Amino acid sequence: MNNNNFKITLAALLIFSGMTAFAQAKKPTIMVVPSDVWCNKNGYMMTFDNQGSVQKFSDYKKAFQENTDLLLVISKINELMADRGFPLKNLESVLKSIGNESAEDAMMTSKSGADVTETPIDKLRKTAKADIWIQLTWTINTTGPKKSITFILQGIDAYTDKQIAGASGTGPQSFSTELPVLLEEAVLSQLDNFNAQLQKHFDDLFANGREITLRLKVWSSSETNLETEFEGNELGQNIEKWVSDNTVEHRFSTSDATESMMLFEQVRIPLYNATGMAMDARGWGQELRKYLKSKYSVDSKVMTKGLGSVTLVIGEK
């Protein structure tokens, strides 16, 4: 092989390696859902008793059972996203999974009187385990024989409820009456930029960790509280050190601390654990529970709310 051929072969190998690495880059897991605005406008809402306060939430199950347009629209968005290499969770399939599970953990009350309530949306997020929810809103516009569609896409971080991407617009007028066709015509020009926003956010998560919230509470029956001393330090101080050691770049904020409670916010946990599985607040909280048990013989109970909030109650399981 002469020198020029060697250089060409080497360059080709480098290009192929770069393409392979790009293809293998991790992408966020996404689930498309109808927005609260769309559900409310179309009468698909449910009520939920949240510790005595009645709240309204989107009733996705009813919407899927009654609205054929919803199936068509979400199927089209799923198709467009999949074509661009973004893994998708199917909302209808996740809802069926939830329907086959027991609802006994919808609300839990501790012995100390502290409540941890899990809403239907929290449960859906925990079951789906999607990184990002895409909330979709659309309206069909009619001008004579022509139609167009106005859409809004909102990318929501499933752990924090923060919007991290957005796109909106109105497609060209068309004689077509097929909703998926109108939607594709409207969305296509915006989708690549929207996906770039999603990927940018996920890249930040990969580099800096997911953001979650950690709460520490104490059972009323517990002989141990957060000011009980172990190895010369209060238990709360030891927990704070563990949080520091187990967050990405030691990123967290201790918002409040007393003998019976602590609140950690903006806690950045690794995106994946040592085995390569996605890490959520529950899995990370379980690691803290194991540490307290093995290091100080302190029992605690892990309670979760959705993907991004975990509570440890000290004293017993």
Per-residue pLDDT tens digits for 9-19: 433 333 333 33
- Of the candidates 98, 112, 104, 106, the one whose C-alpha atom is nearest the C-alpha of residue 215 is 112
Tell me the average pLDDT across 75-91: 91
What percentage of the chain carries pLDDT values higher than 70?
Answer: 86
* Model confidence pLDDT, tens digit, residues 62-72: 999 999 999 99
Does the pLDDT at position 82 exceed 50? yes
> Which tens digit of pLDDT belongs to each residue from 27-41?
788 999 999 999 999
Looking at residue 117, its pLDDT comes to 64
pLDDT digits (tens, 9 = 90+) for 204-217: 998 999 999 999 99
Between 100 and 271, the higher pLDDT residue: 271
**For 44-54, how does the pLDDT look when each residue is reduced to its tens digit (9 = 90+)?**
999 888 777 78
Q: What is the pTM of this model?
A: 0.79
Residues 116-167 pLDDT 10s: 467 888 888 888 888 899 999 999 999 999 999 999 999 999 999 999 999 9
Q: Tell me whether residue 300 is exposed, middle or buried, using C-beta atoms within 10 angstroms of its C-beta: 0 to 12, 13 to 18, 19 or more.
A: buried
Q: Residue 115 and residue 221: Cα distance in Å, rounded?
A: 16
d(CA 83, CA 86): 8
